[in-house]
Structure 1
Amino acid sequence: MQAPAVIITRPPHQAQNLAQGLAQLGRQAIIFPLFEIEAISENPVLDLAMRDLTSYALVIFVSPNAVDALFQRMSAIGQQWPSTVAIGVVGAASRQALAKYGVDAQHVRIFSPANTERTDSETLLVELDLKALKHQKVLLIRANSGRDFLADALRNAQIQVEAITAYRRVTPVFDDKKKQDLQAYLNANCDWVITSSAVLKTLLDWCSQLDQPDAVAKMQQQHLFAPHFRIAEVARELGFNHISLTASGDEKLLLALQSPL
């Protein structure tokens, strides 16, 4: 029995490595972006923070996109990451993003959840020394939308948090081509890689616009592969019934997708 196609819902530039890995496994990979990333080109607040990084005890990146947003600006002016400033990230993908810019645990202290089965703001918070950070400055690099849990928790611990929006998540236009593609994927019963809980609502909304009465119900029966506990949790709340929770990072996703049947 042939394995179903794997639908990758990331933007194309972030889906290529996973698609190549799937091809090596003999799996058909289809890139079907459910969100796009827009950098904020004019961002004086971020530029000011970037030039004053040494004033922060810790910089937290909420995602690989947050890493790219700051480091691309730094690279453009030839700025290097100061080794005295610690970094906090949630998952393996963000660590990989840091590595692209030559930043790893050998050069900078990096905090991340110890439990790779559940990587989120709560498990990152457990790894931080809140007492040592008390009254210190922490920079939080994030998108234009998302949870405020981490910023609120740090402020409650009397830590000075500066949260800066560095990029936007944008929902693509659901045009006729996307409608045709989505309907075909639904009827083929594909495997879906979901790396953001926000796209689940978009996916169901798009299904509700199809000329197929059972599209939403059929989508809820598709097999989802989620690398984060919270994504799986949101999927269950939205009525999805077939969810495989993997550890963070493309390697773990590929391991889970090796045996789909």
Structure 2
Amino acid sequence: MTDCLFDATLNQIRALVTRPQPEGGRLAERIHQQGGRAFVLPMLSIVALAETQEVRDRVLQLDRYEKVVVISQHAARFGLELIENYWPQRPIHQQWFAIGETTRHTLAQLDVPAVCSRQGNDSESLLALNGFQDITGQRVLLIKGKSGRDFLEKTLRQQGAQVDTLEVYQRLCPDYQPDEVRQQLADHGINVILAGSGETVRNLCQYLPQTILEHCRLVIPGQRVARLAETLGFRQVYTATGADHAAMLSVLEKINDETFL
């Protein structure tokens, strides 16, 4: 982190950032630049899956798909690394889509132009795009992590598309000592926790007692994750418009202005 503060719009914020590295460190740096304090304790580990013959066969058939949908920035990074081993030039006349601006930006950095919804960062927002209003008979490839939500895959099939998946990474829960997370909150005077997904929230709950969940401010992206967090016991849930840094920081600015901080 640098010692130079560009402004003090987050001067009351002491945040625990639970994103995997290196994204967690980048978000913590942004908080620091706005006068806040941030500590990174990832609640997800992102690990590439082994390249099996089934995976190679799927990649070699990339040109048979009219649409390729990339589910996350990690899928973009691991997926493109794999594809470039077999496709020095990607198939032409193929539409690429991203879920969320962060994923679209990651693809752009890898020289893959992709379309994403400006209305949200979830599967529902993607399905509302014009490109998915009539997909009967089209072949669609989903590049994603292992397991996870299957809503998009099921919906596309119900709408008549032929859907295959390419799983390129898995999400694991880090192994911390039983009291380590709770001690971090106490030692650093944490007054807000940032979580980027439902799985992150679930993993967080493994390390925190119910009494802390009820009094902890939690910033998450989207209403679906908000409902999950409330079901798990969080009572002060703040919903950002997306999982990107700008959306999360915007919510932190509002929290910073609240008189009870």
Would you say the 8 A contact 1:11–1:35 is kept in 2?
yes
Structure 1 length-normalised TM: 0.85
Counterpart in the other structure of 2:22: 13
Pick which of 23-32 and 181-190 moved more: 181-190
Describe the shift of the 1:160–1:244 C-alpha distance in structure 2 as closer, same or farther (beyond 3 A): same
Q: What are the residue-to-residue correspondences of 1:44-193 with 2, within 5 Å?
A: 44-76=53-85, 79-104=88-113, 110-116=114-120, 119-130=121-132, 132-175=134-177, 179-185=179-185, 188-193=189-194
Check the 8 A contact 1:36/1:170 in 2, yes or no.
yes
Q: Give the secondary structure class of the aligned counterpart of 1:111.
A: coil
Q: Which runs of 4+ in 1 moved over 6 A?
A: none
For residues 118-166 of structure 1, the C-alpha deviation after alignment (integer angstroms, 9 at most, x for no partner) is x311121111534542112100112222121111111111110002221
Across the aligned residues of Structure 1 and Structure 2, the Cα RMSD in angstroms comes to 2.2
* Structure 1 residues 90-140: Cα deviation after superposition (integer angstroms, max 9, x where no partner): 211111211221223xxxxx3322313xx3111211115345421121001
Does the CA-based 8 Å contact 2:11-2:34 persist in structure 1?
A: no
* Maintained 8 Å contact 1:193/1:226: yes
Q: What whole-Å deviation, never above 9, does each CA across 1:64-101 have from its counterpart, x for those lacking one?
A: 11111111223456724445211222211111211221
Aligned-partner Cα distance in 1 for 2:71–2:133: 22
For 1:257, the equivalent position in structure 2 comes to 252
TM-score by length of 2: 0.85
Unaligned runs of 5+ in 2: 1-9, 257-261
Gaps of 5+ in 1: 105-109, 208-214
Q: Secondary structure at the match of 1:260?
A: helix
Give the superposition deviation at 1:260: 2.6
Return closer, same or farther for 1:218/1:100 CA change in 2, 3 Å cut-off: same
Provide the aligned length of Structure 1 versus Structure 2: 245
